[in-house]
Amino acid sequence: MLATTPSRQESPAKARADLTLATRGRIEQAVLDVFADREFHRVSLIEIARKANVSLQTLYKYYGGKEALLFSSLDTWLGKLGTRMMDHLQGMEDYKEKLRKVFWVVLDFYEQNPKVAQLILSSVYINTWRKTPGYRNPLLFGVFMKVLSEGRARGILNDRVDEKILLDYILGVLGRLVQTFIHRGQKKSLTKQANVLFDMLWRAISMPSKGVKHG
pLDDT on residue 172: 95
For 211, residues 6+ apart whose C-beta sits below 8 A from its C-beta are none
**Cβ distance 132 to 73 under 8 Å?**
no
* C-alpha distance from residue 210 to each of 155, 195, 213 (Å): 12, 25, 8
Query: With 70 as the cut, is the pLDDT of residue 64 above it?
Result: yes
pLDDT on residue 18: 79
Query: With 90 as the cut, is the pLDDT of residue 215 above it?
Result: no
Which tens digits make up the pLDDT trace of 148-166?
999 999 999 999 999 889 9
Query: Averaging pLDDT over each range in 58-62, 63-67, 195-199, which range is the top one?
Result: 195-199
**Domains defined along the chain, listed by start:** 2-205 (1.10.357.10)
Which residues are paired to 206 by β-bridges?
Answer: 157
Query: With 80 as the cut, is the pLDDT of residue 2 above it?
Result: no
